[in-house]
Amino acid sequence: MPERTVAVASRSGLHARPAKIFVEAVARQEMAVRIRVGDGKPVPANSMLAVLSLGAKHGTEVTLDADGPGADEVLASLAELLARDLDVEEVADA
């Protein structure tokens, strides 16, 4: 099963708006994606409550995994999203 590890770049971590943006991006995928912190239990990445329960702060390394055709591309796209500071982008959008 392909995996991708990335540090959360958003200043507030995976909370509030950054988590919402991430969960919505996962929901648009045609495969199940899971996310975990360290050696913790993976949770469904399309669940806002599950993602928030990880408590991932700025700089926390999270690991994404998915299985199926195109999984590598999906994981690369989602990892790229998490590697951006979505808090700064929020200010720029305002």
Q: Is 62 left (phi over 0), alpha (psi -120 to 50) or beta?
A: beta
Catalytic: 58?
A: no
Q: Are 8 and 62 in contact (CB under 8 A)?
A: yes
Q: Which of 15, 54, 62, 64 is catalytic?
A: 15
Please give the order of strands across the beta sheet that includes 33-37. Answer: 3-7, 61-66, 33-37, 43-44
Catalytic residues: 15
